[in-house]
Structure 1
Amino acid sequence: MDWSADARARLQELGFRVEVLGTAGGDLGDPQRHQMDVLVRLTTGSGAARTYGVEIKRRMTVELATAVHFPTTPPPLLFTTHLSEPIAERLRARGIDYVDAAGNAHLAWDDVLIDVRGRRKPTTLAGRASSRGAGAFGRAGLQVLFILLSWPETATFPYRSLAALSGVSLGTVKTVIEELTGAGYLYERGNERRLARGAEPLDRWSEAYSISLDVALALGEFTASDLSWWRDAEAELVSLGVQVGGEAGASLIDPHLRPASLTLYATQLPVQLIGRHRLARAENDGNVHVRTRFWKEPFPKRQPWIVPSTLIYADLLASGDPRQREHGDRIRGGDDRLKRIDRT
């Protein structure tokens, strides 16, 4: 599919004059690019105009519509193959304008409002679509990718070391590395290996985490009448090998966030901690979530009491809470680790 021609045609059908102001390099039709950095100026018949940064994605799911990160300047315009109504609704709720190859569209600024819904998915030629490293986003693969995203320097580590750090088999690491390399997410030349196009694997990792890994890590749900105790418990948590994630961890990155829950990661249920702080087991969702810490720190001397911001970001998205989603977007734009991933 010629993405450049299709996007232009759909926008022209909506009555816009389309002017491509420039790109950051590469072909608009290149399927391997995630953030196209294409600047497009749309002008209506009455002269109203807006400049968008076009983001092109071949696939979009409800989960990805929640997890995917778009730069806010210039305002993003998503173009994709087809958007079902639940997906489109999620994008509209986030204030993201879009148009798809079927002609569904939502663009809103000042007095301009374009809202087209219900167009069916266009037919395509039969054929097998590229998996784009789909196996690397299964449960075990997510554990390996977590290490690579959180500590990009580990991309140069031997397979055996990555297996020990991520808690998966040596064969799984080999398969994941091969799939990530084939999908263009890892760059290999000789003995050099490094993360590439980090924004897209981070988006896909966050999406897949909420689907297949988040629930699988659950160790227990508890309720605490006072959640403030953890802020003064750094030494205690470190001594027990427990780390803080979720919105509690996020509150240390984003001071605007006032956490209503506490997420703890531990290798086993921290009975001593539970008893000391009078955490009562909850039948359903409590305000203290204890999850399995499946990874080992690659640099123990740096070991913090807070989980890496990659996991905090995914926790916020997996919550399904719009408030936490908003804080996730803010953290992604301001946290050094996440900004470094987006720049790769």
Structure 2
Amino acid sequence: MFNLNEHDGSLNAEWSAEARSRLQELGLRVEVLADALVKLTTRSGAARTYGVEVRRRITAELATAIHFPPSPPSLLFTTYLSEPVAERLRARGIDYVDAAGNVHLAWDDVLIDVRGRRKPTVPAGRASSRGAGAFGRAGLQVLFVLLSWPEAAAFPYRRLAEMSGVSLGTVKTVIDELTRAGYLYDRGSERRLARGAELLDRWSEAYSITLDTSLALGEFAAADLSWWRDAETDLLSSGVQVGGEAGASLIDPHLRPASLTLYATGLPVRLIGRYRLARAENGGNVHIRNRFWQAPGPESWIVPSPLIYADLLASGDPRQREHGDRIRSDDDRLKRIDRT
């Protein structure tokens, strides 16, 4: 695991002696410029300034879902990257260094690519769950509420349970886990989210693995997929909201949706009949899913943007992934989370 370097000021909780050593072994000069900013310079004088991003663990799903600000370019530090995970990062243009010595740096005429280093041994007692209990199915529902309405972090447990559709005990467990993991400041009467960008990354990853498929209510096919754009009143009166790439197209006008994802508390029979949606046993272009949450106020006809973002990443479609990155940079709610 990383040994933290205590001599880099505000980076002391983010910087790794192993990572610095690995970079210096490659002939790079490493300078810490400011909080989370590092300048790397080659022997020939070629230099690049990176924004440091630290993740203790990167899975294949997270390598696909993880979002970094576009400027400055990001340099990922992590404990270990398997080759399939590293390949996903390289495909997305994300540079990295791990504690084992696997490194990828590419800019201008510079290319440093070290692969195949083995996973380092983790000393006993150093592993941490990092709030793992909050990322089960029920916990993800609570997290969705907290990400969608950050003010809900201060709500009583009972109200959070009603909003997220889980038990009171689950809410308490999730709040305790998030607090211990540093994702939530809990000072009695004051609770608020912290490290929102990392929390959104982890929630999106876990959503694609644990929650996404469990929400399915039915698959349908529509000959004309554009019907929903003129059906706002019908959707709201039926308790149905638009998510997925259709919802994303209302945020990002560059997106032309090829499918429609609807969230409802049950199959909206009247809506299905009125718009002639035919059941599709082998998958269709209209996906109806369970709307498990209750909003704290009046509902929009589209689901909260954290769920739209997660839907795009869970699709596995590189085109939707690209639009997911775009709306994360453009949507006000997602930008607020990233600044938390």
**Does structure 1 conserve the Cα–Cα contact (< 8 Å) formed by 2:77 and 2:96?**
yes
* Whole-angstrom distance in 2 between the partners of 1:92 and 1:224: 38
Aligned match of 1:296:
294
Question: Which amino acid in structure 2 is aligned with residue 145 of structure 1?
Answer: L
- Runs of at least 5 residues in structure 2 that lack an aligned partner in the other structure: 5-15
Tell me the equivalent position of 1:112.
Answer: 110
3-state SS, counterpart of residue 244 of structure 1: strand
SS at structure 1 position matched to 2:128: coil
Give, as a single letter, the amino acid of the residue that structure 2 aligns with 1:183.
Answer: A
Measure how far apart 1:218 and its partner are.
Answer: 0.4
Contact 2:153–2:193 (Cα < 8 Å) also in 1: yes
Q: Name the counterpart of 1:281.
A: 279
* 1:19 and 2:17 correspond: no
Which residue of structure 1 aligns with residue 46 of structure 2? 48
> Aligned AA for 1:319?
S
CA distance in 1, matches of 2:40, 2:29: 6
Confirm or deny that 1:9 pairs with 2:5. no
Alpha-carbon shift at residue 177 of structure 1 (Å)? 0.8
Q: Give the partner amino acid of 2:17.
A: A
How do residues 207-246 of structure 1 correspond to structure 2 at under 5 angstroms? Answer: 207-246=205-244
Task: Please give the root-mean-square deviation of Cα atoms over the aligned residues, in Å.
Answer: 1.0
C-alpha distance in 1 between matches for 2:27 and 2:284: 51
Between the aligned partners of 1:225 and 1:116, the Cα distance in structure 2 is 50
Among 81, 84, 88, the alignment partner of 2:82 is: 84
Q: How far, CA to CA, are the matches of 2:27 and 2:280 in structure 1?
A: 55
How far is 1:192 from its partner?
A: 1.0
Distance in 2 between the 1:292 and 1:190 partners?
Answer: 33
Three-state SS of the structure 1 residue aligned to 2:200 is helix
TM (normalized to structure 2)? 0.94
Is 2:304 the partner of 1:308? yes
| Pick aligned residue for 1:166 from 164, 167, 171 | 164
Q: Which amino acid aligns with 1:304?
A: S
Q: CA deviation at 1:20?
A: 1.3
TM-aligned CA distance change 1:226 to 1:64, over 3 Å: same
AA of the residue aligned to 1:330? R
Aligned pair 1:337/2:333, yes or no?
A: yes
Q: Which of residues 317, 321, 326 is equivalent to 2:317?
A: 321
1:126 deviates by 2.1
1:20-42: per-residue Cα shift (whole Å, max 9, x none)?
1111xxxxxxxxxxxxxx21111
How far off is 1:124 after superposition? 2.5
Q: CA deviation at 1:110?
A: 1.0
**Which residue identity does 1:263 align to in structure 2?**
T
The CA deviation at 1:128 is 5.4
Compare 144-153 and 280-289 and name the one that shifted more: 280-289
**Partner Cα distance (2:102, 2:248) in 1:** 36
Which letter does structure 1 place at the counterpart of 2:18?
D
**Structure 1 stretches of 4+ moved >2 Å:** none
SS in 2 for 1:314: helix
On the 8 A contact 2:19/2:101 being kept in 1, the answer is no
What are the superposed Cα offsets for residues 283-309 of structure 1, whole Å, 9 maximum, x if unpaired?
Answer: 222111110000011113xx1000000
Cα displacement (A) at 1:189: 1.5
Equivalent in the alignment of 2:10: none
Aligned match of 1:201: 199
CA contact (8 A) 2:261 2:288 kept: yes
Tell me which amino acid in the other structure corresponds to 2:285: N
Q: How does 1:34-183 map to 2 (within 5 A)?
A: 38-127=36-125, 129-183=127-181
Higher mean C-alpha deviation, range 276-285 or range 165-174? 276-285
Q: Provide the C-alpha distance between the structure 2 equivalents of 1:325 and 1:21, rounded to a whole number of angstroms.
A: 32
Shift of 1:188: 1.5
| Higher mean displacement: 260-269 or 12-21 | 12-21
Aligned counterparts of 1:225 and 1:11: Cα–Cα separation in 2: 56
Instruction: Count how many residue pairs are aligned between Structure 1 and Structure 2.
Output: 328
Question: CA–CA distance in 1 between the matches of 2:190 and 2:204?
Answer: 26
1:189 matched to which residue of 2?
Answer: 187
What amino acid is the match of 1:337?
A: R
Alpha-carbon distance between aligned partners in 1 of 2:66 and 2:313, rounded to the nearest angstrom:
10
Q: Percent identity?
A: 82
TM-score normalised over the length of structure 1: 0.93
Quick one: which amino acid aligns to residue 240 of structure 1? S
> Gapped runs of 5+ residues in structure 1?
24-37
